[in-house]
Amino acid sequence: MDLKKYIRDVLDFPKKGIVFKDITTLLKQPEPFQYAVDTIVDKYKDQKIDKVVSVEARGYIFGGVLAYKLNCGFVPVRKPGKLPAETIAKDYTLEYGTNTIEIHTDALEPGEKVLIFDDLLATGGTVQATCQLVEQLGAKVISCVFLIDLTFLKGAEKLKNYEVFSLIEY
């Protein structure tokens, strides 16, 4: 299935010069949404994943479904101050600024196998920081999975120590 035809380009969002890849046009159609989820699940179903870790907010849409289909737990990574219990944090750079993410200190156990999902790979900063948080808690990153990879931004280079898998490339 050609998933690209379900992605909408939004010019100058969130700031001038950015062409935002809007996945809501894919999500509202059951066939491409199911195809995307099923393709990822088929690739990782035999890997005995313990947790799917996703970054807010669009990553949660897929992350929860993937965790359910892979019969594992789901762990949210959030912006500072949004998680209610003790957290660890990591600062990172993204394609149009800087940010910080947090994860609960009890979200993962040492040795757990983790699949990280985010909707889009741009410069790689968000998921690189997520990988570092996962590893700081003693878990192992099995793969970094994306619906979309903006290959021209070379985000996969920041993730060269991990398997990177995406369904759509631009």
From the candidates 58, 78, 102, 112, give the one annotated as an active-site residue: 58
| Known catalytic residue at 95 | yes
Which residues does residue 166 pair with via DSSP β-bridges, in sequence order?
Answer: 146
Cis peptide before 14, with omega less than 30 degrees from 0? yes
Q: Which of 65, 60, 44, 2 is nearest to 165 (CA)?
A: 44
| Known catalytic residue at 78 | no
Location of structure tokens 């021209």: 152
Backbone angles phi and psi of 66, in degrees to 5: -60, -45
Q: Is the Cα torsion angle 101, 132, 134, 70 positive or negative in sign?
A: positive
From the candidates 8, 56, 95, 112, give the one annotated as an active-site residue: 95
| Active site positions, annotated | 58, 95
